[in-house]
């Protein structure tokens, strides 16, 4: 960290080697003891009718706790995740304040998000 005034707090629990996220009861307990002004969350899937979902139950439990502890939720997902569903639901579009996605996101999904009061921010898709 280049800024000495920044403090990093990690919740504990089991670390997922794929994405360095935390799961387990220790992580949930730590999140429930905190309050966040803004939470930035990812998801495996974010479908307007099915909601926000991930591949594992453990991840869904932590994300539910983060949403409950947050004043604002920013969902950050790439376009292809907006047309999928995954096994474990952790929230709905009603839980999201801002959706950040790539410019190639389906127009219908972006329209639905906006109609639910979600601010939509699109970013250029990086070259492959």
Burial of 42-61, coded b for 16+ CB within 10 Å and e otherwise, reads bbbbbbbeebbbbeeebbbb
4 or 91: whose pLDDT is higher?
A: 91
Task: For 9-58, write each residue's pLDDT tens digit.
Answer: 888 899 988 888 899 999 999 999 999 999 999 999 999 999 999 999 99
Cβ–Cβ < 8 Å for 74, 97: yes
pLDDT at 49: 93
């Amino acid at each position: 960290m280049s800024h000495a005034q920044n403090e990093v707090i990690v919740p504990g629990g089991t670390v997922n080697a794929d994405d360095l996220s935390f799961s387990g009861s220790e992580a949930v307990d730590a999140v429930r003891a905190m309050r966040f002004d803004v939470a930035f969350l990812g998801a495996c899937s974010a479908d307007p009718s099915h909601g926000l979902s991930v591949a594992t139950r453990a991840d869904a439990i932590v994300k539910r706790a983060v949403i409950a502890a947050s004043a604002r939720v920013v969902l950050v997902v790439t376009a292809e995740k907006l047309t999928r569903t995954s096994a474990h639901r952790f929230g709905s579009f009603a839980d999201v304040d801002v959706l950040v996605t790539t410019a190639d996101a389906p127009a219908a999904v972006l329209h639905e998000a906006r109609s639910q009061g979600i601010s939509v921010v699109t970013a250029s898709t990086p070259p492959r």
